[in-house]
Amino acid sequence: MNFDLTEEQELLQETVRGFVANECPPPRLREIFDSGEGTDPALWQGMAEMGLAGLMIPEEYGGAGMELLELALVAEALGSGVLPGPFLGHSLAALALMLAGSDVQKRQWLPRLATGDVIGTYAVAEEDSQWEPSEWSVTERAGKLNGTKLYVPHADIADLIVVGCSGGGLALVERETRGVSLENMQGIDRTRPIFKIVFDAADAEALESGEAASQRVRDAALVLLAADSFGVASSLIRMSVDYAKTREQFGTIIGQFQSVKHQLARLSTDIEPTRALVWYAAHAFDHLPEDAERAAAIVNSHLTDRAMHTARESVELHGGLGFTWECDVQMWYKRAMFNRSAFGTPDVVRGRVATLGGW
């Protein structure tokens, strides 16, 4: 029994943390955030050079052949700096291809996804927040795709879109294809712009496997959003602690007041032990098939909920400043909002926790 990261895993995470700190410190993040672009080609380029675009893609296709645990460690580091860019959708698109693509499809796309030259995204949700594979209604027939997807991250810069279809299957569409039209939905999290995509007899190619693969990708998404949320929450606590160590009121720094100290200690107690929960769910996805699905649902509902709670408290801890656009907290706050709402809100995901638990 060894519930700990390997040295390589720790090094990977440290490297990504270092990259985030150096390449996207808060002033740079602020520029990207205010521009509304939601991305920075140089950042994606840097990530691709570190191999992060193909982390889980098998080595035979030019990837690093790692597991979801490594991907989750990266997601945590990216979440802690709310790094803008297409990492989430790209990773899920690559995973969908790995799990459901034919040999030909894998050979055609995975090597280019692995280098980051081709950016992927994953189009799932439809009207009424339908994220579950069994609920999808977009149709793929005879190579033509029809229907509408919502909340698709970074669709504007994606070259390849993996689309969930009725019956839980998946299809591949190139964005630069006739019959694919995009509309910016003006998302709250400016590090991950979201789009409505209408497919009108767009040329598409079905992936081989059906609903089981879609469910695996859904579970991976739940874990990655949880890992990102853990990063978001940990950073918010650190920022709030730093603020409480410098801000003076009543002639002393506010961290000396028990109300502030206890609020911070409670937030920390809520979040710090969940680092292990993220590791466990990712490890279960890779190695414990009997518990993978439920563990993903538990970690997602728990972490996206706790991170949002942390974000709200962090605003309060920053006083009036906390409610301003100028305060950095808002950028983390909005990432927490994205994470909480994507792939099902905590109450919806907890419904699955209950059902999967045989309750």
Partner 1 sequence: MNLRYSKEYDTYRQSLQEFLKGWPLQGDEAELPKQKQEQLFRQRGVEAGYVYFAIPKEYGGAGQQPDVLKSAIITEEYARVGAPGNCVSQGPALLAPTLIEFGTEEQKREFVRPTLRGDLRWCQGYSEPGAGSDLASLQCSAVLDGDEWVINGQKIWTSNAQEADYMFGLFRTEPKASKHAGISYLLVDLKQPEIEVRPLKQMTGALDFNEVFFTDARAPAGNIVGKRGEGWAVSRSTLKHERNLIGNPNMMRAHFNSTIALARRSQRGGRPAIEDPLIRNRLAEIEGYVRTAEVSHLRQLTAEAKGEELKVMLPMMMNKLYSTDTMQKIMTLAYDLLGADGMLAPTAEDIASYARTHTSTGFVEQYIFSQGPAIAGGTTNIQLNIIGERGLGLPRDLRVPK
Binding site for partner 1 (CB under 8 A): 1-6, 69, 241, 244-245, 252-253, 255-258, 260-262, 264-266, 268-269, 272-277, 279-280, 283, 287-288, 295, 298-299, 301-302, 305-306, 346-347, 350-351, 353-354, 357, 359
Q: How far is the CB of 313 from partner 1 (least distance, A)?
A: 14
Specify the residue, 259 or 325, whose C-beta has the smaller distance to partner 1. 259
For residues 297 and 26, give the distance between their C-alpha atoms in angstroms, rounded to a whole number.
31
Q: How far is the CB of 321 from partner 1 (least distance, A)?
A: 19
Specify the residue, 152 or 237, whose C-beta has the smaller distance to partner 1. 237
Q: How far is the CB of 302 from partner 1 (least distance, A)?
A: 3
Specify the residue, 191 or 300, whose C-beta has the smaller distance to partner 1. 300
Q: Which of 122, 309, 289, 84 is nearest to 221 (CA)?
A: 122
Here the tokens at position 204 are 């598409």
For residues 344 and 282, give the distance between their C-alpha atoms in angstroms, rounded to a whole number.
19
Q: How far is the CB of 221 from partner 1 (least distance, A)?
A: 18
Q: Which of 119, 53, 37 is nearest to 29 (CA)?
A: 37
Q: How far is the CB of 130 from partner 1 (least distance, A)?
A: 18
Q: Which of 281, 296, 280 is nearest to 353 (CA)?
A: 296
Specify the residue, 246 or 325, whose C-beta has the smaller distance to partner 1. 246
Q: How far is the CB of 203 from partner 1 (least distance, A)?
A: 42
Is 204 exposed, middle or buried (CB count within 10 Å of its CB: 0-12, 13-18, 19+)? buried
Specify the residue, 27 or 358, whose C-beta has the smaller distance to partner 1. 358
- For every residue of 206-221, DSSP letters joined together read E-S--HHHHHHHHHHH
Residues 156, 157, 162, 166, Cα dihedral to 10°: 0
Specify the residue, 204 or 353, whose C-beta has the smaller distance to partner 1. 353
Tally of residues, the chain:
359
For residues 353 and 41, give the distance between their C-alpha atoms in angstroms, rounded to a whole number.
38
Asked whether the CA dihedral 29, 303, 75, 20 is positive or negative, the reply is positive
Q: Is 32:40 a contact under the CB 8 Å cutoff?
A: yes
Q: How far is the CB of 246 from partner 1 (least distance, A)?
A: 11
Integer angstrom CA distances of residue 156 from 100, 161, 224: 24, 10, 22
Residues 141, 145, 147, 148, Cα dihedral to 10°: 150
Specify the residue, 186 or 256, whose C-beta has the smaller distance to partner 1. 256
Q: How far is the CB of 54 from partner 1 (least distance, A)?
A: 22
Specify the residue, 175 or 318, whose C-beta has the smaller distance to partner 1. 318
